[in-house]
Chains A and B, each alone.
Chain A
Amino acid sequence: MGDAIVVTSGKGGVGKTTSSANIGTALALLGKKVCLVDTDIGLRNLDVVMGLENRIIFDIVDVATGSCRLEQALIKDKRFDHLVLLPAAQTKDKLALSVDAMQTIIRNLKAQFDYIVIDCPAGIEHGFRVAITGADQAVVVTTPEQAAVRDADRVIGLLEGVKLPPAKLVINRIRPHMVKNGDMLDIDDIVGILSLDLLGIVPDDEHVIRAANQGEPTVLRPDSRASLAYRNIARRILGDSVPLMNLEDDAGFFKRMKKLIGLR
């Protein structure tokens, strides 16, 4: 029996889809059977980030309405045999996916996979309620911005209303130098407001954008800091205790000088 994890945030654009793709891929990298589920009906993105857009034949609404079997809609990843995607519908109405249908789908997926990572749409309306139904745990993604933290707080409150255990927090797109200068909320502030356990912190990284455009999850690139952050998150989901990564920029002037001297 697998574990269903919903990735949610309230606010749009904080990195739900990127986080879903990377956490799912990282879990697959660690040898787990993983199914990614995109519930953002009408604005699907997860397939694009995973580079699987051109393989979609059936989608989650087809499964919900009985137009196809669940297995037919699951798209096998290019890189891992044990990683699949259940894509959202792009052309159908968002009310086409009901809470009951979603529950059935997740129950069936849990029988086949170790982890089901559910990418939640932005907002707190129907799509959100559908996405969290059937989930066993929730990951709330936020960025170090007041508005994102506000929305995360709202979503955490709503999650507390259902029987889920306390959500875990991912703080995305941290810019260490801005935090240092006091221009950005720091991690302690955010954790203080939201009073949740921290699942991970992800530094702002250009690799993420490049990777998303190439349809290749960042986590597969060993040289990126965001990649390491997502791998750590996946390990923590599996129960390992991994220390938070040090966000200090290692490209300081002196360090670069030392490197140069060292090279000589």
Chain B
Amino acid sequence: MAKSARSTASEGKRNLVTIKGIRNGLVFALAEDAPFTDVLTELEDKLLGSHQHLLSGSTLSAYIEKGKRQLSEDEEKALRRIFASQGELIVSGLDGPPPLKDWRPKDPYVHKGTLRSGQLIEHDGDVVVIGDVNPGAHIIASGDVFVMGRLRGSAHAGAGGDVLSVVAATYFEPLQVRIAGVVRRSPETYTRAAEMEFAYLEGNQMAVEKMSVLAQHRMRTRSSHAVI
């Protein structure tokens, strides 16, 4: 009874919560000017009531687009609680969907020579270092990182969130590797591999394999994406 009363209350008014589907999840646009409690109520109705059948199934990323609205800590908690109770949606961002990836291949950045402590390469695309990357040096790439030499510093591939990125090095001894949002630090000692290795993401785990597996990794991930 109470539920139907609520839905009639929101009827005739404009949508306070607009749901849009994007490639890798859903965007929830919250009306900027409506009282937050009304927005929450409508969100709860949609998630747990009217749209429930649409949302069941596999886990999806939810991107909340709050517009100009400032969320207090409690408001954010309340918001997250609703998503948590729904179960299938993971709140992945409060500032709208991630920027669309430009699928045109970007130019790689090639650095020739030793990258030393305190030096940073930050590039939107792949980064290739022909030389060593010393401890204290840092590479941040939105694409892959390839080091033709010793990788002893830190490397971050897929800095824009691309989980398919890899970090590869002739001698793979990094202090820290990140791929998208996953961080792994070095083991206490490296056993020196005889050949070039690369790090990639297997779900939420980082794995290191010899270079010859890279092609298979690429194939597998690409085909699994085609299914989605």
Contact = CB atoms under 8 A, between A and B. Distances in A.
Contacts of A154: 116-118, 136
Interface in A127-157: 150-151, 153-154, 156-157
Contacts, number: 28
Interface in B125-147: 132, 134-136
B178 interface: no
A224 interface: no
B191 to A, nearest CB: 16
B119 A157 contact: yes
Nearest to A151: B117
Contact of A195 (B118, B132, B135): B132
A158 B118 contact: yes
A74 to B, nearest CB: 35
B114 interface: yes
Interface residues on B, range: 10 to 19
A150 B152 contact: no
- Chain B interface SS verdict (over half): loop
Interface string B89-128: 0000000000000000000000000101111000000000
A193 interface: yes
A158 B136 CA distance: 13
Nearest to B136: A150
B127 to A, nearest CB: 17
A160 interface: yes
A195 B117 contact: no
B131 to A, nearest CB: 8
Interface string A175-196: 0000000000000000011110
A224 to B, nearest CB: 33
B117 A157 contact: yes
Contacts of B116: 153-154, 156-157, 160
A148 to B, nearest CB: 12
A34 B132 CA distance: 37
A193 B134 contact: yes
A16 B138 CA distance: 28
Which of B118, B132, B136 has the most CB atoms of chain A within a 10 A radius of its CB? B118
B175 to A, nearest CB: 11
A195 B152 CA distance: 14
B30 to A, nearest CB: 47
Contacts of A150: 117, 135-136
Contact of B134 (A153, A158, A160): A153
A195 B114 CA distance: 8
Contacts of A158: 118
Contacts of B134: 153, 193-194
A194 B134 CA distance: 8
A153 B133 CA distance: 11
A162 to B, nearest CB: 14
Nearest to B115: A157
Contacts of A151: 117
B152 A193 contact: yes
Nearest to A10: B117
Top 6 A-B pairs ranked by shortest CB distance?
A157-B116, A154-B117, A153-B117, A154-B118, A153-B116, A153-B134
Interface of A: 150-151, 153-154, 156-158, 160, 192-195
Interface of B: 114, 116-119, 132, 134-136, 150, 152
Given A150-B117, A153-B135, 4 more contacts: A151-B117, A153-B116, A154-B136, A193-B135
9 contacts: A150-B136, A153-B134, A153-B136, A157-B117, A157-B119, A158-B118, A160-B116, A193-B132, A193-B134
